[in-house]
Every structure is written in C-alpha cells, then in structure tokens.
Amino acid sequence: MIGRLNHVAIAVPDLEAAADQYRNALGANVGAPQDEPDHGVTVIFI
C-alpha cells in the first residue's frame, strides 16, 4: 500500500519551456531553478 505522496519528479528536456507551460497554461506558481549538483540535476518546484 502506498502512503502519503511526498513529491513527484518529472524529467523534461527543456526546463524553461516546461515551467512556462505550467505557469501560463495551468496558472501554477513556479519557483526559480535550483541546481542540485549532488544529483546532477536542476529542479523547479511547482
């Protein structure tokens, strides 16, 4: 059984395009990009 959902990660080829889509099409609050060098990724919280 799955408990509470903590977060979902979605890998995208173009982070800015994805952020624009969430912001403009869905009206989501989109945070600033944050580098996570230990994981080799840049993330944006929505």
| Structural domain spans, the chain | 1-46
CA distances from 16 to 2, 4, 22, 33, 37 (A): 31, 29, 10, 9, 18
Closest CA to 34 of 44, 24, 25: 44
Of the candidates 6, 15, 13, 7, the one whose C-alpha atom is nearest the C-alpha of residue 43 is: 15
Whether 30 contacts 24, CB under 8 Å? no
pTM beyond 0.95: the answer is: no
CB count within 10 Å of CB 44 equals 16
State pLDDT tens for residues 5-30: 888 899 999 999 999 999 999 999 99
Instruction: Identify the pLDDT of residue 31.
Output: 95
